[in-house]
Amino acid sequence: MRDATLAGAAVCVCVCVVPACDSSFACGSGATEGTGAPADDSTEPRPPEALVHPPDRDYRAPEEFFVELDTRAGPVPIKVFREWAPNAADRFYTLVELGYYDGVVFHRVVPYVLAQAGLHGHPAVNRAWRGRSIQEDPAREGPTRGLISLVASQDGSLTTQFVIQSGDELPGGIGGAPFGRIYDMRPVDRLSSDYGDDGEPSDLSERRLAAEGNAYIRESFPALDSVLASRVVGRDRGGDDADDEVDESED
């Protein structure tokens, strides 16, 4: 793990208002359960200890850094600007550095509207992070196609789920303050949306995904895409390309 300065994260109860999805897990109901490694009957490989026992505080992110999410649809390149949303940037940086997003499924994809992910494939990890919410930052950017933010709850707290805006706006205020931008949206536009009305798996239960992990996805929604791997690929404290245009060119 790279040396990192720790940034504080406030803990609060989370009540999600994501339209057309099962908010019972995202809300943090049952958040009083222990955040250690409970008895585990999952068939998934044992997750890294740092994911089951999260750090007390998020790592402080560089002022600007680059993340790449590998998917079957192609690599999703993200540039994060910490000044846009410091709390969210620190949380995203911490999760990427810990390898949290590796194997995480895009469980909600509505073409040219949004792509959402962030519930872990191992139930023990979901239990560990359920109460590790942070306070939402004031929004400084958006709404614009190509922005990425953490999923916001009704009280303005966020945990691990992120949403990529692939349309002109996000429905129902699902996203918190944007903290970065995707510079090639073609892979996002190709993510699987094979289930449900308008590409949304309307019968997918976030509660079951949280409780059963990726075993639930393999059984019921095998065509959904996932993050094959995630990594920080560069750090840049300077630069002035926050207004660069998103790549929309055809393959």
Tens digits of residue pLDDT in 56-68: 999 999 999 999 9
> Is the pLDDT reported for residue 91 higher than 90?
yes
> Is the pLDDT reported for residue 224 higher than 90?
yes
pTM passes above 0.95: no
Three-class DSSP category at 83: helix
Q: What is the DSSP letter of 71?
A: -
Q: How far apart are the first and last CA of the chain?
A: 36
CATH for 6-29+49-235 is 2.40.100.10
Mean pLDDT within 6-25: 38
Of the listed ranges 26-35, 111-120, 176-185, 205-214, the least confidently predicted one is 26-35
Share of the chain above pLDDT 70, in %: 73
Peptide bond into 143 cis (omega under 30): yes
User: Rounded to whole angstroms, how far apart are CA atoms 130 and 82?
Assistant: 24
Q: 162 forms bridges with which residues in the sheet?
A: 117, 150
The pLDDT-based confidence of 23 (bands split at 50, 70, 90) is: very low
User: Rounded to whole angstroms, how far apart are CA atoms 129 and 28?
Assistant: 9
pLDDT at 185: 98
pLDDT at 42: 59
Three-class DSSP category at 60: coil
